[in-house]
Structure 1
């Protein structure tokens, strides 16, 4: 089937891709839905490096928290088509073979699939600032799409909700070991997304015990906590 391709100031996209992009739902604000009923998407990206201006997304993993649990039947996993990607130290850590990158999904298609999976839900990630910047740049480059979904950082929620019972470090591995969770494969997007979701569920339980039962209140507490942390550094 012949596909018409369009290019204005942004990337070249097929008409079907433009229609899919333009049909993506607007993100919902952080609201007062009880945590036990809230749908959130937990995201993890594997990238070619840590430079948010130059490095690129190699693979994406995401899982859904809904109705107080992780829906194991509803997961997202995708390796992007990145031919001729240099074999950097980061690529070796992630264990993504050049053949997987060569056979990966077209970035525009992969990102459309991801955002359809996300829907209007807020996004959780561990050190979410990095994932948010990398995803935002990838969406703009491949789809001409501006990311507006609210992100919350599990790496901030964890020490805030566990001030007297926290590991010395604040890495994903530290909290995984602290809560005695099992990880199938570290530095793999889908496995890291799953263990981050498991940590998030534990933290949601802690939040409810502290009188925080929705994302709006949790985010307000997080903003206040963040300001206190910054004040200590002055």
Structure 2
């Protein structure tokens, strides 16, 4: 993982990390990606090129399960163009269980002739390069992306991400008002994607489709910044 910032804070120093990884990795494709660096930590979020990303997987453990579909949606705070999104169904290297099929509705027949994740790595890296990745629950996307890249290229991939679930937790679970509600015995607010979107009166989408969920995540970040932050907020205040 990235080292701590020079001020001793727990926030990773992503620019230094990316520069170091560009020198350390022996995988040319990853070296090229890391060498492009990341955004200036002081860049206002309103000026940042962003890309929402979502995975559907065969399970929740990145060491035992694999990615079965990927959705990415390039965007900015001012504009989302759904036509720019990309979606892949993939053939996982781990067994596709009946439980996961019921969850994301990607069937054994659909993955039978689908490509391996290895075939989309170059295109995916090109879409992520130069943009700040936005996800809803970074532990899943970060862990699975790193594991999938490591298994196929022999080295891992970490990068800064904005986690809309984490932002929602800061607002609705870690604020003084949220603590007061817990003290009064009130239930904690759900920070799942669907329920989070409801709080901002965003339209209801059918969930557990990687491209749809990437669009939903992009819209959620736009709403979170509008309601709780501003366009001048530096990206370093939001990424992890």
1:32 pairs, out of 30, 38, 42, with: 42
**Match for residue 138 of structure 1?**
148
1:54-133 paired onto structure 2 within 5 Å? 54-66=64-76, 68-82=78-92, 85-133=95-143
* Partner deviation per Cα, 1:143-185 (whole Å, 9 max, x = no partner): 2342131122111112324655997211112112222222432
Normalised to the residue count of structure 2, the TM-score between the two structures is 0.74
Q: Distance in 2 between matches of 1:159 and 1:148?
A: 22
Q: Distance in 1 between matches of 2:33 and 2:94?
A: 31
TM-score where L is the length of structure 1? 0.75
User: Which of 183, 189, 193 lines up with 2:214 in the alignment?
Assistant: 193
Point out where structure 2 has 5 or more consecutive residues left out of the alignment. 1-26, 182-187
What are the Cα deviations for residues 1-32 of structure 1, in whole angstroms up to 9, with x where unaligned? xxxxxxxxxxxxxxxxx765554353305522
RMSD: 2.7
Kept in 2, the 8 Å contact 1:80–1:110? The answer is no
Query: For each residue in 1:75-116, what CA deviation from the matched residue of structure 2 results, as whole angstroms up to 9, or x when unmatched?
Result: 121111238843330122100021211121232112222111
Q: Is the 1:48–1:88 Cα contact (8 Å) retained in structure 2?
A: no
Partners of 1:45 and 1:75 lie apart in 2 by: 14
**Deviations 1:43-93 (Å, cap 9, x if unpaired)?**
111000111210111000111122622132311211112388433301221
Contact 1:124 1:153 (8 Å CA) reproduced: yes
Deviation at 1:206, TM superposition (A): 2.9
Tell me the equivalent position of 1:169: 190
Which stretch has the larger CA shift, 81-90 or 103-112?
81-90
